Amino acid sequence: NAGVMQNPRHLVRRRGQEARLRCSPMKGHSHVYWYRQLPEEGLKFMVYLQKENIIDESGMPKERFSAEFPKEGPSILRIQQVVRGDSAAYFCASSPSAGSSYNEQFFGPGTRLTVL
């Protein structure tokens, strides 16, 4: 059973370009979470999605950032008009359906975004 997959692993963009980060959850997982990690910092929650629904986006910046988890295909985190401050590691995690006994989240390897 493959783990959480993220691609690309590394992404370089120039200021003003768009960045699209993809996350495929573990098989059978319908809950996806996105986190951002700056150097020497802990992960910061961004958004929590279930299939076709955004459950909690309280950690998402109000502008330029959006996320989706369509019925088919991976979850996408989209950053429009990137700025240098967006440079970070972005981690995706997934968990089983609601009703699991505890909130273990399985993390992907991350996408490291560098904005030039």
Partner 1 sequence: LAKTTQPISMDSYEGQEVNITCSHNNIATNDYITWYQQFPSQGPRFIIQGYKTKVTNEVASLFIPADRKSSTLSLPRVSLSDTAVYYCLVGLNYGGSQGNLIFGKGTKLSVKP
Q: Which stretch binds partner 1 (CB under 8 A): 13-21, 65-73, 74-82, 94-102?
A: 94-102
Euclidean distance between CA atoms 37 and 115, whole angstroms: 15
Our finding on whether 52 is near partner 1 (CB under 8 A) is no
Site for partner 1 in 60-79 (CB under 8 A): none
Euclidean distance between CA atoms 86 and 81, whole angstroms: 10
Euclidean distance between CA atoms 39 and 46, whole angstroms: 17
| Residue 35 structure tokens | 């986190």
CB 7 within 8 A of CB 75: no
| Residue closer to partner 1, measured from CB, 1 or 14 | 1
Q: Smallest gap, in angstroms, from Cβ of residue 4 to partner 1?
A: 7
Our finding on whether 110 is near partner 1 (CB under 8 A) is yes
Our finding on whether 18 is near partner 1 (CB under 8 A) is no
Length of the chain: 116
Using CB under 8 A, pick the residue from 26, 30, 64, 109 that binds partner 1: 109
Our finding on whether 44 is near partner 1 (CB under 8 A) is yes
